[in-house]
Structure 1
Amino acid sequence: MNRKAKGFLTWVTAILLTTITDSTAEDARVTDVLLTTITDSSAEDAITVNLNDPCNNYTALDQPWRATNATAELSISDSNFNWNGWYRLLYYGMNIRMPESCDDNFTCSTYFTLWLNGHHPQIVDGPVTREVCANSASDSNCCFTSTWIQIKACAGNYYVYEFVRPDYNYAAYCADVNTITPTTTPTTASSTAMSADTPKNNTSDPCSVYSVLDNDWRKLHSSWFFDLDFSYFDDTLVEWSGWYRLYLQGKSAQIPEYDWCWSFMSCGGYTAFFLGGSHPRLQDDIITRDIYGYHHSVEDLSQCNSYKSNPIQVKACPGDYYVYRLVKPAVSIPVPTYCAVTTTFYDPCNNYTALDQPWRATNATVGLRIWDRYFNWNGWYRLLYNGMSARMPESCVNPSRCGTDFPLWLNGSHPEMKDGIVTRGVCVSLGWACCFISFTPIRVKACPGSYYVYEFGKPDFFYTAYCADVNTITPTIAPMTATSASVSGMNITDTPKNITSDPCSVYSVLDNDWRKLNRKKCSDS
């Protein structure tokens, strides 16, 4: 090579390393690191990016709710996050770092603020270990509990932290607003990416060019009782690109519409996202919809639009499903996630399971203490009472009825046939509170023949069961055998119609382990 070419830099290698850290694929975290080796013609100046340096391999946390000027209203707990690796703190794209002194508690969107008990290192120090303290107001103790993390100073005036799960609930790592500085280096050394790549051809029909999102944690559910130890997923950490189709356990799903917003609802994160409008029809082509969200501790339904995120595009596709052009949510929203509910395109009036269980009646007072959470709810159900049509009560039911301690009743009127499928809340009655808590809403449809079908789900509150109002019993007009109740694990073969055959050679097989007689202890109740 001649002298004129001396000093000319050539790209020698560009290797995209992808490390998948979650083997379950439910929270696929993909770390993208671009390794670039630059070499001049004389090989005198070779620059190599060290892949093991956390300054080049971290997750950017742009979560303004961590700021020391944010109140504790949200009560976020970092013990619910799946911490893994190194993190860089940002505040609306600007550098920020942890506080080095005891901060007021009830800030940083949590009760117990986590602060750094020591100084940040310099670049020459490399990775160092520092104590992280939790502040408590009850006894004015600035370090009532602590843990240890590693920190490193990086070129560009920022720091990376190897955060770990705090041992204490309702504690969160803080970001000191007094340390904000402009960003001079890229903030995307690593990122959280989707498990399926979206083809780059944006001119293609999104109904045939999309990525699949099948995360069971996106399922909308009540977070009042059983989610005391769950994990937060944050869609602001995802690199969204292109169109997506939602699934839940392999079944087609959709983003819930606004009528799914009820108190104590969650879907994997802290802020549940809903579609601010109806889904399009096939003839509508691509439409734009606003995205609204609210955090799971909201009890007043007027706060369902507590947050407004960036709008998304939606398209209805042949084959009865939707695709969404999802985008990064606004970082000001605390731990948001796009929710999912199963899609029902078939007519549930022709595809349901008949529940003829008289113990569900509002006049049943036998102390069975049945809990509907233990049922494997799947699909749609029709309530019957000794063969006659019945429906859920629309008003408060006294405790110790319906075969349980705390009856469940419909918080709203039943629909008419012209209404199609509607969403209704379900209340639990405790006697002193007719609607102590409103659980995951259910869908209801009015059917020809003066009956209703319900898409029941697992209630979270203990000793609760769906009721059948004996005051609504009517003779059965429509057939009751649209579908039959199937039990998971059943192995049943068809029995020949010839009833004169020897039953010792013509029978069906029942092989269910749950039929085994067990000795039940008091603690198992």
Structure 2
Amino acid sequence: MDCKLIIFVLTGALLSVAFAQTRQYYFVNTQLNWTSAQSVCRHDFTDLATIENTDDINAVVSTTSTFTGKAWIGLHDDLVNSWRWSLNDSSFYGEGETTFRNWDSGQPDNFGGTQYCVRLLANGKWDDVNCSQQYNFVCYNGTVNGTPSLVFDQTLLLNWTEAQQFCKQNYVDLVSIRNQTENNIIKDIAGGSTVWIGLYRYKEWSDGSNFLFQYWANGQPDSGSQQCVAAGFGDSGKWSDEDCSQSLPFICYTPKELPPSCVQLGCPSGQDCITFNGTDQCVDPCQNYTSLNDDWRSVNNTDISTLHCDYINWHGWYRLFLNNNSAQIPERCIETLRCGTHAPMWITAPHPTQSDVIVNRTVCNNWAGSCCQFPSHTIQVKLCYGYYVYKLQRPYACHLAYCAEQMFSVSGQNETSITLQWKKLNNNVSFVLQFNGTETNITAPDGNGTVTYTVSSLTAGTKYTFTLFYVFDNIRYSRVQLTAVTAPLNAANFTSSGKTQTSITLQWNKDNNNTNFVLSVNGTETNINPPVGPVTYTVSPLTAGTTYTFTLFSVFENIRSSGLQLTEELPPSCVQLGCPSGQDCITFNGIDQCVDPCQNYTSLNDDWRSVNNTDNSNVHCDYINWQGWYRLFLNQNSAQIPDRCIEANRCGTHAPMWITAPHPTQSDVIVSRTVCNNWAGSCCQFPSHTIQVKLCYGYYVYKLQRPSACHLAYCAEQLFSTKVSGQNETSITLQWSKVNNSVSFVLQFNGTDTNITAPDGNGPVTYTVSSLTAGTKYTFTLFSVFDNIRYSREQLTAVTAPPNAANLHSLRNNETSITLQWSKVNNNVSFVLQFNGTETNISAPDGDGPVTYTVSSLTAGTKYTFTLFSVFENIKSSGVSITAATGPNFVVGLEIELNSLTELSDSDLQDALAELFNLYGILPQISMKVLSVKPGDE
């Protein structure tokens, strides 16, 4: 921190103080060893020279003008008796426990002459080392049930002084070791690390003084074996360590007569005794103080990134400043973690109002819920001309620091005025307030209160600088400045632009870059600094069904506007809604609503889900978002999850999923169903889960859940499973599943609608469509109907059976084959020929001629029955039958004379004879062979 001594002189001359030397030094030019020199000094003078500052150095050097060598002084090393523990509490140590030592072999050795601190090694032994080295350390933190509480931080490496300071600030002190048992405990805690312990020492003065002043020559001290110290008269009196047996001249001293002490002086009221250069003097603290201008001390400082301790010298008087303006210690309890420290300090009684007295005030501190948690202490305070000075005392511990607040402050402000407040001090002081180039004289009111003054007719959101002078006998003694702002205007158009179950979006306008905002929501505040223009801000997470009050403050230079309020109630949650039977709570755009799943669902139209899909070339996983309700479709027709175990590797997946119980038959309830899966020979191989199902008006909806693994997918089959249960040349009979007694149906085909009422009972619905054309394809559309509304649609294509083939007859036969012939129906009709329990598929030939088919490999002289079916779209006609036989194995010789106008071949003759035999009824089973003979060849 920056500190400076400021001396105010109202009248008279500047005070001059002569330094008073406390010791008279003598140079003895007799060469003796250090011990002998000590004996001479103690016999003839007081002791070997003790030196506590540079003035003493100058006095020693001035004892001789001709000597340029070295002379003994009283400083020396005592490696046995000079060790002491950092914890200086006699109640902690029992008899002999302060002298317990566990030195390693050859230690302590003061190697290099600079080893004043002690470390504990991994083997539990001790070693003296240079205090500037860095090690881990063990802190002592009091006792618990008589046992020392120890703290070891293996991550922190500090030098000995830093480690001592850390332990004192955060615990009690660096650890002391009183016996071998404790030594072993600390060795175990360190776990093989080298650690600092609390043992240390200083070089000692012969007269027992503890002054820490040092004046070593370059490179000194440099030897642990050289344990006595000499001053070099040829080196400005600088010191070096020497062998104590060496013979040197020496310096002795006797005390000088001292100037009067503070007690002897007896200072008058309003003055204090202060030591300047070793001499006590009575001075006015108002004219002799040190300035503390640390802005971190402000009561408004809540920054805890850097926490301070009060590292001042605790000597003399201090005046507080904040931002170069006079400040004072607050007279009220200040919240913890303010003023740049843990526990802010404040005074428990008001400041004095008389300027000619010094008063005592108790200082407290705020921590752990108590405004005076740590031990309090007393400081002195004096009222000067427009400010206070304090004789501060060191607090109980680090991170307790003196707070400060401006003596000139703002007690209130709005859009058009700023109210100022300052300390009155006493009735003899008046004030001048200066701002915007004008001055206002203000008289202090009667009484001991503060002075309050309101400056009006100001502009909203504007910064003003006020200067206040304290006036006594028309002389302005103290000047304090304050910058303050008027509150900004409230934001315009503060509204709610949207809300969900757990959030609300607010909107308002920002007019300039100098304004930001604070949004308060049910006591919680959020800082918002958006760009200029319309502002949109969403508050989340909030609780559904709860009413919130939002207060928006415009903020300029940390000053708020009067604020705008908005009260909004969030929509209730599913739990709060309590949906009625048949409805489910679903979130739409962040808002929970009770809805009928029959009217709020997502369609799944994946034909690969079909129970008839056995294609394993593309195996699917169910990648849906598992939210809300779903309705299944196959080929745009309503479908349902099957309620029977489906074979593995169907439905486009490995393990098809199905429900283990039938679908509901009531349409006003939501039911739960267990979902199983088929794999590895088990219809429920992987873990099952539960879904919800609702019957709607002719279809089902499902609240699906994610299965336990990929390649488990929900199966689907047509909802009504409309199928053809029979058909012939003039009719098609349809059959489908019944939903319940409340649902009827409309069957639509060829542009006509037929209303069909579901029969009683749980069986399927059967309906025959008549008067149809044979061999014709028809498309039927089935609708489910509830309250005259068509809800679900399912399509089916079916055909009538084709007409039988005409003119079926046996064209010819022999002992092993029969040739049949019949008329062709049309190009779309094929045939199935059935005989002897076998069926043969026969395609119609091109063209319009008859169909000829030879049945071979038959038995001679055997009768066969042939049935011929016409086939259209895999549907057979009723069929026609004929009987034919193969011929016997004998030969009949016939002599027939034929006249022909042209020459005939043997095959032409055979065809002509077959026609002749048919004409006269000769059995067609007779086979024949024609041998032609020319005239003259008989």
TM-score in terms of structure 2 length: 0.25
